[in-house]
Amino acid sequence: MKIIYGTSNKAKVENLRKIFKKLEVDIDLETLSDIGFNEEIIENRKDF
């Protein structure tokens, strides 16, 4: 399964990858930059 994670925040990406690894799920996590999306998104919350 592939998930496109709507963030450019590297810390959030790494946290989610760690969760997937710990749960031993086979998920290909891509970021917005991986798919060529370069517009600014306001990230002003602590949760994901």
Number of domains present in the structure of the chain: 1
Write out pLDDT tens, residues 1-48: 999 998 878 899 999 999 999 999 999 999 988 999 988 878 788 876
pLDDT (0 to 100) of residue 14: 94
Global confidence as pTM: 0.69
Identity of the residue numbered 19: I
pLDDT (0 to 100) of residue 43: 75
pLDDT (0 to 100) of residue 48: 61
pLDDT (0 to 100) of residue 15: 95
Which range of residues forms the domain containing residue 8?
A: 2-35
Asked, for residue 14, whether it belongs to a domain, the answer is yes
Asked, for residue 44, whether it belongs to a domain, the answer is no
pLDDT (0 to 100) of residue 17: 94
Asked, for residue 48, whether it belongs to a domain, the answer is no
Determine what percent of the chain falls in helix, strand and coil, rounding each to the nearest 5.
35, 15, 50
SS3 30: strand
